[in-house]
Structure 1
Amino acid sequence: MFTDMQAHAWADLRAVNRNREAIRATQAFARESRWRQIDRSAETSSEDITISRWEDSRGASSHEATTPEDRYFVGIALKTTRARLTRDRQIVFDGTMPAGTLYVTAPSKPLRAQFESPCAFLHFHISTDHFPAQFPAAEGLNDLVLLRDPLAAELAKALIERGHAADHQFMRCLGQTLAMHLARLEPPRVRVNALPKWRLRRVEQYIADHFDRCISLAELAHVAGLSRMHFAAQFRAATGYRPREYLLNHRIERAKALLATTERPLAEIALAVGFSTQAHFSTVFKRISGQSPARWRLASKGERAEAEAPPQRRAARERDWIASVAA
């Protein structure tokens, strides 16, 4: 027979377990069994907007998927990666995808992706009902790749910050916002030829080798073998960045690697990646990453420590927490 105290403790413990199950049930991100292939439970099948998260830590990976006939597929890159997108042996995209890159595939379209570095994406699976019946931009949305889409980047950031605490209503609201954003996009009337892949790789390699010093536009144009005006336009068409912006983003990515793996002072890291002062480094870092270098370093160490914690230790902490609630 339970005493009154034991009965209350048991009821409290059951309430805790029910709350934890409810949190799991309302996790914002659906599970992907394979790239772009979400587990279609009865619940997710009835939703007009589903958001999933895909991560692959391998240095190289290859995937293929076909968009369902009643959905648009939208991917937003969470980290910079190098990708090659193809369909029927035709190249859709081949190059660097910075964090915040948005790409869209229309319904019933197959797509093959080859990633040449670790990648992380938010995937939006949006019902065609969210687009006008006579959608003028439908053809323009197919295989659309926007290497710089500030709104998409902010929506992804909002979801990631909320994490699994984001409820379905919040998730659906952001998905609807993204759908309206896509419906209002106007395909460019005049297209500038993108910098050819072989020229782009020469420029990217040059930046990788000399990012720690001042690099002028004329210098990069000379590496590409073009005039400054033609190089700047073609480089932006190929990468979504002006040459100066691309260089700054490259420096920040290198700085993140040093912040995460070393204890070097911020001033020393600033100089190592090509900034003349720590103040300028901090300003650019916060503008691109959304956090100061110091806060980013602390967050990175916290994530690494959690990931490296033995499963037994995490399980023990969970048991201790449940026991303390039941006591």
Structure 2
Amino acid sequence: MFNDLQAAHAWIEFPASRCDRDASHGMRAIAQESGWRKVDRGLDADITISRWEDSRAISSHEATTPADRYFVAIALKTARVKLTRDRQIIFDGTMPAGTLYVSAPSKLLGVQFQSPCAFLHFHISTDHFSAARPATEGLNDLVLLRDPLAAELAKALTEHGDTADQQFARCVGETLAMHLTRLELPRSKVNALPKWRLRRVEQYIADHFDRCISLSELANVAGLSRMHFAAQFRAATGYRPREYLLNHRVAHAKTLLTTTERPLAEIALAVGFSTQAHFSTVFKRISGESPARWRLASRAVLPATEALPRRRPAADMDWMVGAAA
């Protein structure tokens, strides 16, 4: 999970098309929302896809899912989010890009965004799920941290922008619905690291990321054994402690690449890497580009820092299932 400064600079993972901003509402495959989950053209089609973006540091919203719909959201960039229903907290923490969450028909869901955010919203008719019941019973208040297929579907849509036609968007929506009905939900879950312990660890990493930090060291900061700390930290953030540390270093490196003229070797040492070669390898794995290319591209468009990888090294998926209402 990222601190407030990092969260404010965790920019969108998937490219936004200029057409998204400039084209008229009428024929868009992806509708722009006037308010959270408010689609001006209505939900006439059996699958409607909309986009919600908010640059504010904090915002709160509530919405009830229509009786004939499932609501599915996919995060386009990392965001700090708190989901609640009937005063019960469903999720409270960082949603990495690619996170998917679901609200069932006729359910009131409250959300507080604690950082700028960007989401794709899928409003999918229950007809796409009925054939799979009772598999859909577990879909209410389901939160999946970094679902690879959801991330790829979101990327496909945002890359096409307004060149994506209605048929293509519908195909993506149907694929997502099929994916959800075929999920094998975990039988048990690891409790997430309590927020007060997590803040301790976050602050410790923020203060010492430029040197080697061991798992035992972080576990001691959290006041837990190594095994319990690693599992609970991953449940809370979607990252192994080592992955989180490396992403923190890369996020800080991007700030230096954008705002200074310091050479790459100097930046590598400043953010905790022992060599420029190691820095470049990790940076490219997380960002998809070398430090030099990223610096050039960021200055050609807008200064920005990405805080999450496009894909994780491991092929496994991180899960977290919220309490069903």
Distance 1:200 1:295, change over 3 A: same
- Partners of 2:26 and 2:266 in 1: how far apart? 46
8 Å contact from structure 2 (residues 268, 279) kept in 1? yes
**Cα deviation per residue 1:40-84 (whole Å; 9 max; x = unaligned)?**
25xxx3322222111111111111111111111111112222111
Equivalent in 146, 149, 160 of residue 148 of structure 1? 146
8 Å contact from structure 2 (residues 78, 95) kept in 1? yes
* SS across alignment from 1:177: helix
Q: Please, what TM-score do these two structures have when normalized by structure 2?
A: 0.79
Percent identical among aligned pairs is 80
Q: CA deviation at 1:220?
A: 0.8
Q: CA deviation at 1:208?
A: 1.8
Distance 1:202 1:134, change over 3 A: same
8 Å contact from structure 2 (residues 25, 31) kept in 1? no
Q: CA deviation at 1:121?
A: 1.3
8 Å contact from structure 1 (residues 211, 251) kept in 2? yes
Bigger RCO of structures 1 and 2 (CA < 8 A, at least 6 apart): 2
Aligned to 1:272: 270
8 Å contact from structure 2 (residues 132, 181) kept in 1? no
Structure 2: tracts of 5 or more residues without a match:
1-21, 304-325
* SS across alignment from 1:92: strand
Equivalent in 192, 203, 206 of residue 204 of structure 2? 206
Q: CA deviation at 1:25?
A: 4.7
How many residue pairs get aligned? The number is 282
8 Å contact from structure 1 (residues 29, 52) kept in 2? yes
One-letter code aligned to 2:36: W
Aligned to 2:116: 118
Structure 1: tracts of 5 or more residues without a match:
1-20, 306-327
Q: CA deviation at 1:271?
A: 2.7
Aligned to 2:319: none
Alignment of 1:161-172 (within 5 A): 161-172=159-170
One-letter code aligned to 2:226: R
- Partners of 1:129 and 1:256 in 2: how far apart? 45
**Greater helix fraction, Structure 1 or Structure 2:** 1
Out of 293-302 and 162-171, give the one that drifted further: 293-302
Out of 152-161 and 267-276, give the one that drifted further: 267-276
- Partners of 2:206 and 2:75 in 1: how far apart? 21
Aligned to 2:133: 135
2:100 is the counterpart of 1:102: yes
8 Å contact from structure 1 (residues 126, 175) kept in 2? yes
Aligned to 1:6: none
Q: CA deviation at 1:24?
A: 6.6
One-letter code aligned to 2:29: A
- Partners of 2:231 and 2:35 in 1: how far apart? 37
Distance 1:136 1:204, change over 3 A: farther
Aligned to 2:30: 29
**CA RMSD for the aligned pairs?**
2.3
8 Å contact from structure 1 (residues 137, 187) kept in 2? no
Distance 1:36 1:272, change over 3 A: farther
Aligned to 2:90: 92
One-letter code aligned to 2:230: A
- Partners of 1:122 and 1:254 in 2: how far apart? 27
One-letter code aligned to 2:234: R
* SS across alignment from 2:130: coil
Q: Which runs of 4+ in 1 moved over 4 A?
A: 21-25
Aligned to 2:283: 285
Distance 1:139 1:29, change over 3 A: same
- Partners of 1:282 and 1:132 in 2: how far apart? 49
